[in-house]
Amino acid sequence: MKPKVLVPRAIFPEIIEHLAAHFDVDDNQRDELLSPEGFRQRLAGKHGVLLFGEPITADHLRSTPTLRAVSNMSVGFNNLDLPALTDAGVLATNTPDVLNETTADFAWALMMAAARRVGEAQQWVREGRWAGWTYDQFLGTDVHGSTLGIIGMGRIGRAIARRAQGFDMKVVYHNRARLPEALEQEAQATYLTLEQLLCQADHVVLVAPYSEQTHHLIGASQLQLMKPSATLTHIGRGGVVDDKALIQALQTHRIAAAALDVFESEPRLDPDFLKLPNVVLTPHMAPASEATRRRMARLAADNLIASLNDQVGTTTLNPQALDVRVRLDRSPS
């Protein structure tokens, strides 16, 4: 009998076919959004699940004792209770690296849109308000020759930094730990404290993951340090920025503009963002090129196959869970 897996959202049909060669797949290709209770019911009796941001908690593990593997189709994994998964012998994986360059491209698209007021200008044209040229129409902030500050200097952060060389920018960064000298030289980036970075940067890009330590890493006091002409681009995780504080900073022109791909309560967002002309808003789509999304989906499927075959790979978040699994003998019947 094949192990049973759940795919709770629609995905490329070839991914379902790939999984079906190995598992009994319960899929949701109609993409009918499951309620939390609906997800729990569909998860019952499954040995694996391919996740699209759905949470897996200790309660889910208690109600689904058959579960052996969860595969997150994203880099972030704050939707997973990793300690509980490990204690239950459930392997967890994510999909890093395959989206680095695409996400870096999008960070630049957002940053430049905010700096050059692209969103405002497009709305102006669409509303039929463009009547001709004036000397001060939609004056923005230069990107070339300015200082780029990157908060979160992992692989995506370094990919963003590499692109800055073509714009003759000075790159400064802040990270939980300073990079090795070789990586700093490759990125042509200088390490600063968070406060120093916020004071110096013309354009700040946030790539930090969410955790208790990064909750509201950027709040009112941090925004107060930024230049009035500065922009803030956020492609990390919701909760790293205090959305209320950012709204106030944009309303009062404490900073010039922001570009946001993530929000604290997404897919809901504070309605006050919608009233602001100086913010670019996108629906958590930084890695959304077709080629990259297909690579993420295939990696997530392959991770699920490997995990249910007791294999630990480079994207396994809790390899120690395999030892627990052996002790608990959680293999499917």
Burial group, residue 170, by CB count within 10 angstroms (0-12, 13-18, 19+): middle
Amino acid at the residue 152: G
Q: Can you tell me the distance from the alpha carbon of 107 to that of 101, in angstroms, rounded to the nearest whole number?
A: 10
Six-digit token string for 265: 């309560």
CA–CA gap between residue 69 and residue 315 (Å, rounded)? 13
Please state, in angstroms and rounded to a whole number, the distance separating the CA atoms of residues 312 and 306: 7
Show the DSSP H helices in 128-219 as ranges.
Answer: 155-164, 181-187, 194-200
Query: Alpha-carbon distance 189 to 191, whole Å?
Result: 7
Spacing of C-alpha 323 from chain mean position: 30
Known catalytic residues are: 237, 266, 284
The CA distance from 207 to 104, in Å, is 10
Residue 250 one-letter amino acid: L
